[in-house]
Amino acid sequence: MIFVTNADGRATFVSREWIECTGQSLEDAVGFGWTKVVHPDDRETARMIVANAIQTQSPFSLRYRLLSREGQYMWVAAGAIPSFGPPDQTFLGFLGSITRIPEDEVMDLPADGSVGQFVLARGRPTPGSPLELTADLLLMVHSLVATAGVARLRPIIEEALHVVGVELAQAEQSGHDPTQLH
């Protein structure tokens, strides 16, 4: 699942997979509406991690429980990287992904997260539009490049992520179905 936020951390786009997984409409998820499907015990942790990431304009990773369409909570790993643009590398918000974590990998762990690093979640990208899949794969590449310590590739990948995030947000704002973007 892919998401885009503005500089205030308000969701401006969630992929169709979010809607299919949670049953929450785009209209209900945007802004901070997405927090309504976060487990009540995990909301404060999620809020603090995201607020810290916004303040420091840093990547973040977060593990929490999300309410499914069927009314069951599932563990997910979310992570995002900041997006910067003109003028003067202004902080625009975040582009991130959310991946379901198999139950046997989390057991009874509490919600948790970190700021300063996007940690690659296990699993495969969630099928979606070609643009959403591109964002998911670029986020994975960003994480792998950071782990490998190849710093000169990061700006290139971050620029590509920025362009993909802008395209996803513009498609949503213009009323185009992002799952139909090619």
Provide the residue ranges of all domains of the chain, joining segments of one domain with +.
2-180
Nearest Cα to 162, choosing from 98, 90, 85, 97? 85
* Triad 50, 149, 130: Cα angle to 5°: 60
For residue 87, is the peptide bond before it cis, meaning its omega torsion is within 30 degrees of 0?
Answer: yes
Q: What local confidence, expressed as pLDDT, does residue 172 receive?
A: 62
* Cβ proximity of 95 and 81 under 8 Å: yes
pLDDT of residue 179: 43
The pLDDT assigned to 26 comes to: 86
Superfamily of domain 2-180: PAS domain (3.30.450.20)
Listed in sequence order, the residues at least 6 apart from 54 whose beta carbon sits closer than 8 Å to its beta carbon are: 7, 8, 9
Q: Tell me, what's the pLDDT at 17?
A: 87
Say what the pLDDT of residue 39 is. 95
Token duo for residue 82: 């900041």
DSSP state of 102: P
Burial class (CB in 10 A: 0-12, 13-18, 19+), 127: exposed
DSSP codes of every residue in 104-148: GGTTTPPPEEEES-PPPPSSPPPP--HHHHHHHHHHHHHHHHHHH
Mean pLDDT by runs of 10 across the 182 residues of the chain is 90 88 91 94 93 92 92 90 84 88 69 70 57 72 69 77 74 56 35
Closest CA to 96 of 70, 59, 67, 66: 59
Q: How many helices (H) and strands (E) does the chain have?
A: 5, 6
What pLDDT, on the 0 to 100 scale, is given for residue 120?
A: 54
Question: From CA 47, how far away is CA 43, in angstroms rounded?
Answer: 6
- How large is the greatest C-alpha to C-alpha distance in the chain, in angstroms? 46
